[in-house]
């Protein structure tokens, strides 16, 4: 599994002449790193006297960011698996009309599945970003830059996943599926842009005049 | 070293209640993943008949993106090491006036060094992003989304590093160093925003009507 490779090995495989892992898995990794940084700021806040008032709230946030981090970590491998299934469908025999029809159906099904993985990355990044906002507002001010990087990674993860949703939708011939997923993707992208701006403005406040 | 940990271990350490690794190392990792994706698109273009005309150009780009990927990969650990040096300086004895003066000097020096690491991440991401633009313009159109994710990761890496430059500058009392680094950081950030928009517009063209 990709998540059992070292950073160094993962980057080597990414750069290689194999299309997988590619941008989809990187988007999920960015999201997972963003969620992990949000968890870190929670952990650096909980138990500190100065932040006693927000302790319970950040404990609840931590439970959520850890859950979302695990989901995003799993999506690193799921994206590459879904891509490989699309490739396998393209590799099916196409000698007879029957084989051609079965292959076409398999490609459509695998591409739909491969579209839903980055859509899931987008949904999960959006949820984690709302928690990153709470973390930026209420978490340890010494970790303001970490809360900011958390938001930047969740934003980039979401935007990267959106490109993968889009390239997959281009290969589908089910207009109602395409329309529905495109609409949801656009809605999430818009919300994520807005929330990221809000987090960055909180980070700015924590920096003060610096 | 961080780059010898598995993705799974790295994310666990990131989320933990230790401030290092933190946002600075994540910014370098995002940059390294972006450079790796740019390399991948080069590798998926070189040797393809359809792209014979750009073969030499993309081979030269690949040499550069691989170099920049290695630099960014090293910066993952360098950032955490620099942060640990700042923490070590803060931990120096401060019983006598002499100790206090030596500690203050050590903190300033370590903080300067810790500022130059994310500045270097910014510079390296900016260089890699210019190559990602060439890749998006001339590389394999089937990998358009990967070129896009490359740019998004380099942008997020640069913006994340900028936050780390800024939080470190806040602790320095050398106005000329602070001014110079703040100016360079702002200039890079501006150029990176522009180049990212240009890359995304190239990716958009490759998607065509999709």
pLDDT-derived band at A51 (thresholds 50, 70, 90) equals very high
CB contact under 8 A, A7 and B76: yes
How many H helices and E strands in chain B?
6, 0
Per residue in B83-119, pLDDT (tens digit) is: 999 999 999 999 999 999 999 999 999 999 999 999 9
Distance from CA of A95 to the nearest CA of B (A): 25
**pLDDT value at B65 more than 60:** yes
- The confidence score (pLDDT) of residue A210 equals 52
Question: How confident is the model at residue A96, as a pLDDT?
Answer: 98
pLDDT class for B209, splitting at 50, 70, 90?
low
Cα dihedral across residues A169, A173, A177, A178: positive or negative: positive
Cα–Cα dist B52/B57, whole Å = 10
Q: Does residue A116 surpass a pLDDT of 90?
A: yes
What band does A208 get if pLDDT is binned at 50, 70 and 90?
A: confident
ipTM: 0.97
Averaged pLDDT, B142-146: 96
Say if residues B144 and B174 touch (Cβ distance below 8 Å).
no
Chosen from B1, B6, B10, B15 to mutate, greatest number of chain A CBs within 10 A: B15
Chain A residues lying within 8 Å of B144, measured CB to CB: 163, 167
**What token pair was written down for B206?**
């490759």
Chain B closest-CA separation from residue A195 CA (Å): 15
Residue A101 burial (10 A CB sphere; 0-12, 13-18, 19+): exposed
Residue owning tokens 């590459």? A80
* A179: number of Cβ within 10 Å: 11
Q: What does the angle CA B165 – CA B197 – CA B131 come to, to the nearest 5 degrees? A: 75
Query: What value does the CA radius of gyration of chain B take, rounded to a whole number of Å?
Result: 20
The per-residue pLDDT for range A149-205, each reduced to its tens digit, is 999 999 999 999 999 999 999 999 999 999 999 999 999 999 999 999 999 999 999
pLDDT of residue A3: 98
Place of tokens 């799974």: B8
Integer distance in angstroms from the first to the last C-alpha of chain A? 43
Q: pTM higher than 0.90, yes or no?
A: yes
Smallest CA–CA distance, residue A206 to chain B, in Å, is 10
Calpha distance B140→A74 (Å, rounded): 28
The residue ranking higher by pLDDT, A207 or B127, is B127
Is the link from the previous residue into B21 a cis peptide, with omega within 30 of 0?
A: yes
CA distance B37 to chain A (A): 6
- 3-class DSSP assignment, residue A38: helix
Using the beta-carbon criterion (under 8 Å), do A16 and B169 form an inter-chain contact?
no
Task: Indicate the average pLDDT of chain B.
Answer: 97
**A95, burial (CB in 10 Å: exposed 0-12, middle 13-18, buried 19+):** exposed
> Which pLDDT value is given to residue B208?
78
Could you report the per-residue pLDDT of B153-178, keeping only the tens digit for each? 999 999 999 999 999 999 999 999 99
pLDDT class of A99 with cuts at 50, 70, 90? very high
- Please give the mean pLDDT across all residues of chain A: 97
For the segment B40-66, the average pLDDT, to the nearest whole number, is: 98
- Test B29 with A37 for CB contact under 8 angstroms: no
CB distance B143 to A20 below 8 Å:
no
Are A7 and B8 an interchain contact pair (Cβ–Cβ within 8 Å)? no
Q: What share of chain B in percent tops pLDDT 90?
A: 98
Smallest Cβ–Cβ distance between B16 and the set A40, A76, A146 belongs to: A40
Q: Rounded CA gap, B31 and B122, in Å?
A: 9
For B177-186, write each residue's pLDDT tens digit: 999 999 999 9
Distance CA B43, CA A185 (A): 30
Asked whether residue B210 carries a pLDDT value surpassing 60, the answer given is no
DSSP secondary structure letters along A77-142: HHHHHHHHHHHHHHTS--SSHHHHHHHHHHHHHHHHHHHHHHHHHHHHHHHHHHHHHHHHHHS-GG
């Amino acid at each position: 599994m990709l998540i059992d490779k070292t950073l160094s090995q993962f980057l080597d495989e990414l750069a290689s002449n194999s299309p997988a892992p590619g941008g989809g898995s990187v988007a999920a990794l960015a999201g997972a790193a963003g969620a992990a940084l949000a968890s870190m700021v929670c952990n650096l806040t909980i138990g500190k006297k100065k932040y006693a008032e927000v302790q319970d709230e950040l404990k609840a946030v931590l439970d959520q960011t850890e859950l979302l981090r695990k989901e995003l970590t799993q999506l690193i491998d799921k994206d590459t698996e879904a891509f490989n299934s699309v490739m396998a469908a393209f590799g099916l025999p196409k000698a007879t009309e029957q084989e051609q029809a079965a292959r076409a159906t398999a490609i459509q099904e695998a591409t739909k599945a491969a579209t839903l993985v980055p859509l899931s990355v987008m949904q999960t990044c959006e949820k984690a970003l709302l928690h990153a906002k709470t973390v930026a507002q209420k978490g340890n001010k010494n970790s303001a830059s970490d809360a900011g990087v958390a938001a930047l990674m969740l934003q980039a993860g979401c935007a990267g996943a959106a490109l993968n949703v889009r390239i997959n939708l281009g290969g589908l011939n089910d207009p109602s599926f395409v329309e529905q997923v495109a609409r949801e993707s656009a809605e999430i992208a818009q919300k994520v842009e807005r929330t990221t701006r809000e987090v960055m403005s909180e980070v700015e406040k924590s920096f003060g005049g610096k």
